[in-house]
Amino acid sequence: MFDIQQALIQDITTSFEAVFGQAPGALTLQPTRKDFAGHYTLVMFPFLKITRQSPEDSGRQLGEHLQQHSKLVAAYNVVKGFLNIEVADNAWLRLANDLNQTPGFGFTPPTGEEMMVEFSSPNTNKPLHLGHLRNNFLGYSVALILEAGGTKVHKVQIINDRGIHICKSMLAWQKFGRGETPATTGIKGDKLVGNYYVRFEQEYKKQVADLVAQGMPEETAKKEAPLMQEAQEMLRKWEQRDPEVYALWQQMNSWVYEGFAETYRTMGVSFDKLYYESDTYLLGKEEVLKGLQEGIFYQKEDGSVWVDLTDEGLDHKLLLRADGTSVYMTQDIGTAIQRFKDFPNIKGQIYTVGNEQDYHFKVLFLILKKLGYAWADHCYHLSYGMVDLPSGKMKSREGTVVDADDLMADMFATAERHTRELGKIEGFSEEEAQKLYRILGLGALKFFLLKVDPRKRILFNPEESIQFQGNTGPFIQYTHARIMSILKRAAQEKIDGGAALSEDVALSEVEREGIKLVSEFGLRVQEAAEEYSPAVIAQYVYELAKEYNRFYAECPIFAEEDSSKKHFRVVYSRLVADVIRRAMGLLGIEVPEQM
């Protein structure tokens, strides 16, 4: 495909040698600053030893030669040693032609490289919440972006289906559930189990308060409270495969998995393989015991196993409790090893987990390296900031978490209200309208959570996210629908958006900038893949939609009398619609055909 920058660099090299009698060596162009005329800028200062003139004079001589001898250069200007070059219209038209004739431009064919991306990874003692939404949208989008960059991606999650928190829900159901099920209550399985996790905490706090009132120190009371003692005993029984405890665990987890599956369908995310902590923690225990034998880890008098990371600037980390039960780190060790056994060709793993676990992953990767796994250097923690609401921080055990299902339903309702108020559903059937509300509501939510750099904390504002103006998903979705309406009319008027363009058309500056921006799609995909940041794509597609709306306001399409210009504007519209659809697709967002 025609590359304006590379073609321009070749012409600059030829002109430089012609003017100054010597080749310049490697050249780099940068985009011209918006407050100056031009599209690309060459900084002249590195070449003054060759030109033996001032940077201004060097730039003027080189610019003059380019304007006379290069078909790519329409004009130039020099500002304090910066040579700003305006690219000729025929070059932009040639580029537009190439883009139009290259389906899927910007995406890279398979390179043979494989990666694994972990995301979601919920606990089976509660439903998914607002924080899980950012996690899922982020991990799923990173996987799609890596695939667009040519990498084969395996999307996985580790389901935290065992441990003391699971036993808390199980124990509370045993004591207070009276045999109720999702079927008998009409409550979604993950929510029903989550209710009992909250109930455990409520009853546990009462017991702790009673013990403290009797004179027991609070820390001791937290350990000695009967409910906590029973939950720990249940965990020990689970690890010993007690038939009754194990059957209850299987039953309650099955309720949760059905609930999770429904939520994932609404979110629009999927996985290639599921891992379960209950399967991988034993492998982790084996590795820890092997490390103990080899002197990598050490054992305390109470029988607990630890690793000393003080030489790495960290501290001592527990790997096995005194009673032999495992901790999160144990199962994460086992899970990482199992994944490289299952997928031996993967280059590395990306863990999409909130930044409160930064320390955990530093420790995990160091332990894996100490165990002799060289691939530990290719494990990456995609750390992201928490999501807050105006009402404050969420707490699972207190039942103040914003439920993912409820929030998505609220977004669909908000999208319906805004869309009806703006009158954007004329001619829609009720079924079509409901589908549009879901596309807009989910798009607004995803875009709001993905447009921010993953490392930053987010204050989520549902009303702001759903607006049809500004840096929002609905604004971009509406732009796509507008373009599709234009293309539909163009087809009715027999204007072929797929036909080759005449390269003898006078373009406006907004049209040149538009083609330049469209052509940068592949670079932005590459940048997003390298940084594991969907925010790069979100910012790009917003810029593109904004630029198209400027074009739409300044350049009439069907009122244009010049047929070549009209044809170009239809082709440009087609290119923008295609990039918007594919860019939003990388964010996991659908775009409507009409609104």
What's the pLDDT tens digit per position in 94-107? 999 999 999 999 99
What's the pLDDT tens digit per position in 264-317? 999 999 999 999 999 999 999 999 999 999 999 999 999 999 999 999 999 999
In 2-94, DSSP assigns E strands to 30-31, 40-43, 73-79, 82-87
pLDDT of residue 425: 78
- Per the CB < 8 A criterion, the answer to whether 58 and 47 are in contact is yes
Determine the residue type at 241: R
What's the pLDDT tens digit per position in 168-207? 999 999 999 999 999 999 999 999 999 999 999 999 999 9
What's the pLDDT tens digit per position in 430-443? 999 999 999 999 99
Determine the residue type at 495: I
Specify which residues 76 forms β-bridges with: 85
pTM: 0.92
- Per the CB < 8 A criterion, the answer to whether 154 and 343 are in contact is yes
Q: How far is CA 276 from CA 114, 270, 375, 393, in A?
A: 22, 16, 22, 29
- Residue length of the chain: 595
Task: Work out whether strand 305-308 and strand 298-299 pair parallel, antiparallel, or are unpaired.
Answer: antiparallel
Residue ranges of domains in the chain, CATH in brackets: 4-87 (3.30.1360.70), 119-398 (3.40.50.620), 404-586 (1.10.730.10)
Look at residue 123 and give its three-state secondary structure.
Answer: strand
The CA distance from 404 to 383, in Å, is 20
The CA distance from 29 to 84, in Å, is 10
The CA distance from 401 to 431, in Å, is 32
When pLDDT is cut at 50, 70 and 90, the band that residue 22 belongs to is: very high
The CA distance from 468 to 226, in Å, is 55
What's the pLDDT tens digit per position in 212-263? 999 999 999 999 999 999 999 999 999 899 999 999 999 999 999 999 999 9
Q: How many CB atoms lie within 10 A of CB 566?
A: 20
pLDDT of residue 37: 93
Give the CA radius of gyration of the chain: 30
Alpha carbon 581 to its chain's center: 16
pLDDT higher than 50, residue 394: no
Q: Of 525, 538, 479, 407, nearest to 138 (Cα)? A: 538
Task: Work out whether strand 152-159 and strand 273-276 pair parallel, antiparallel, or are unpaired.
Answer: parallel
Instruction: Measure the CA angle with vertex 304, ends 165 and 248; round to 5°.
Output: 30
Q: What is the DSSP letter of 149?
A: T
pLDDT of residue 391: 65
pLDDT higher than 50, residue 21: yes
The CA distance from 418 to 103, in Å, is 35
The CA distance from 464 to 461, in Å, is 5
